[in-house]
Amino acid sequence: MNFPIYRLRRLRKNPTIREMVRETDLNVSDLILPLFVTHGKGITKPIKSMPGHAQLSVDNIRKEMKEVVSLGIPSVLLFGIPEHKDATGSSANDPHGPVQEAIAAIKDKYPQVQVITDVCMCEYTSHGHCGIIKDGDVDNDSTLELLCEEALSHVKAGADIVAPSDMMDGRVAAIRGALDDEGYDDTPIMSYAAKYSSAFYGPFRDAAESTPQFGDRRSYQMDPANAEEALREVALDIEEGADIVMVKPALPYLDIIRRIKTEFGYPTAAYNVSGEFSMIKAAAAAGWLDHDRAMMESLMSIRRAGADMIITYFAKEAAKVMRKAG
Ligand code: PBG
């Protein structure tokens, strides 16, 4: 394979030949758009650190879905901002909560859209942690019961897939059992399996109003230094019944995505999180990066690393770029 016999530039000569040898593809069918549902009516409350995104009340979610569907985006991931928060996040399983009502509203008008819901307590607790606090830390096993109730209420409202993001041990088995007991044995679980304790969630916590009021999430989310542990997390979630496993964040953890895809060969999702989105937005606004190219290169790199699907705040903009490219 030595130069001058072998010349790699031969296959880079023009767009046609480059496309012919392209190894990875990115399609709108790979994308999942996160949406923030708030209580009330007629509300569009822009999220400052996430340009183009807003908390939307259920009626406005319905309107937003028109564009989402017209762009061909097949799936959304819902987060809720409830009216009341308390120490045990008691509104998480409210059948009339923002997420539950948004699910029904979306499925009513667009039954073909796949509605995925984030299952976690941090949006519903007054202290912002992902479960019940005991002795200054999140108590694992009592939190499991609440997660099961929350997941069940989403599925009863019509959710197609539930996605637990709390990082409690044993939650996938607990939720699987709860769903099966009620006859929802057909509803898949997308597990946030390797979820790191990351600085890149900053803008999301503004969006979901879920910043922990004390301490941090290091006693339940993963240490960014660990890769072997991510494999154990995923192995356990698969054993417990996860149908899709997720790595989060995406770009600083491409190595983890690749290892998990190679090791397990399972449907693998990557979450291109809020901070990854906002960094590109900020740099593009300053004129330091070409927005669309940086966005598409990031998404392609996540696919190349091995993700089958990407949860991304860029979903609509990426869909528009792909549409133009034809
Ligand atoms: C809930 C949850 C978080 C994100 C998704 N689900 C925040 C967190 O763990 O603090 C972050 C998503 C993002 O940054 O885009 N636990």
The DSSP code sequence of 240-261 is: HT-SEEEEESSGGGHHHHHHHH
Question: What SS3 class is residue 50?
Answer: coil
Q: From the alpha carbon of 273, which atom of ligand 1 is closest?
A: 15
The conformational region for residue 163 under phi > 0 = left, psi -120 to 50 = alpha, else beta, is beta
Nearest to 158 by CA among 89, 108, 94: 108
Q: What would the CATH number be for the domain defined by 23-325?
A: 3.20.20.70
Q: What is the DSSP letter of 53?
A: -
- For tokens 């669309």, the residue is 292
Encoded tokens for 259: 């290892």
Alpha carbon distances (Å) from 15 to 20, 22, 57, 89, 256: 9, 10, 44, 53, 32
CA distance 242 to 220: 19
Q: Kindly state if the Cβ of 274 falls inside 6 Å of ligand 1.
A: yes
Residue 49 beta carbon below 6 angstroms from any ligand 1 atom:
no
Residue whose CA is closest, atom 11 of ligand 1?
201
Strand (E) positions, 154-267?
Answer: 161-164, 190-195, 244-248
Ligand 1 in contact with 273 (CB < 6 A)?
Answer: yes
Query: Residue 234's pLDDT is what?
Result: 98
Å from CA of 220 to ligand 1 middle: 13
User: Which one, of 245, 252, 246, 230, lies nearest residue 298 by Cα?
Assistant: 252
Q: Which atom belonging to ligand 1 lies closest to the Cα atom of 118? A: 6
Calpha distance 209→8 (Å, rounded): 50
In ligand 1, which atom is closest to the CA atom of 201? 14
DSSP designation for 215: S
Active-site positions read: 195, 248
User: Using CA atoms, how far apart are residues 124 and 244, in angstroms rounded to an integer?
Assistant: 25
Query: What per-residue confidence (pLDDT) applies to 66?
Result: 98
Measured by CA distance, the residue closest to atom 7 of ligand 1 is: 201
Find out whether the beta carbon of 276 lies less than 6 Å from any atom of ligand 1. Answer: no
Q: How is residue 47 written in tokens?
A: 């999220």
CA 195 to chain centre: 11
Torsion of CA 108, 116, 53, 95, to 10 degrees: 60
Residue 192 C-alpha to ligand 1 middle, in angstroms? 10
| pLDDT at residue 1, rounded to an integer | 78
Residue extents of the structural domains in the chain: 23-325
For residue 272, give the nearest of 314, 323, 226, 229 by alpha carbon.
314
Cβ of 130 less than 6 Å from ligand 1: yes
Model pTM above 0.85: yes
Predicted confidence pLDDT, tens digits, the chain (326 residues): 799 999 999 999 999 999 999 999 999 999 999 999 999 999 999 999 999 999 999 999 999 999 999 999 999 999 999 999 999 999 999 999 999 999 999 999 999 999 999 999 999 999 999 999 999 999 999 999 999 999 999 999 999 999 999 999 999 999 999 999 999 999 999 999 999 999 999 999 989 999 999 999 999 999 999 999 999 999 999 999 999 999 999 999 999 999 999 999 999 999 999 999 999 999 999 999 999 999 999 999 999 999 999 999 999 999 999 999 87
